[in-house]
Amino acid sequence: MQINVGRLDRIVRVVIGLVLLSLPLWLDSSWRWLGLIGFMPLITGLAGRCPGYRLFGLSTCPMQEKKPE
């Protein structure tokens, strides 16, 4: 799968993922386990590949120039 997540998007995803994953440490209600959803933005941010972007044909990664063959 091709990289389709740009640099700024990756940084935002990693930060959001880490914040969501910290929720179980700060919340005492049953909603704290919702923080485990933070794995998805964290993984996509670290890998630079988003299946949802691919499904919809989106990309925040700048296009690289193709070299003539």
Q: Say which residue, 51 or 69, is predicted with more confidence.
A: 51
Q: Calculate mean pLDDT across residues 45-68.
A: 81
The reply to whether 64 falls in a domain is: no
Q: What is the 3-state secondary structure (H, E, C) of the chain?
A: CCCCCCHHHHHHHHHHHHHHHHHHHHCCCHHHHHHHHHHHHHHHHHHCCCHHHHHHCCCCCCCCCCCCC
34 in any annotated domain: yes
Whole-structure pTM value: 0.81
The predicted pLDDT at position 22 comes to 92
Which pLDDT value is given to residue 64?
A: 56
Domains held by the chain: number: 1
Residue 43 falls inside a structural domain = yes
Q: Report pLDDT for 3.
A: 87
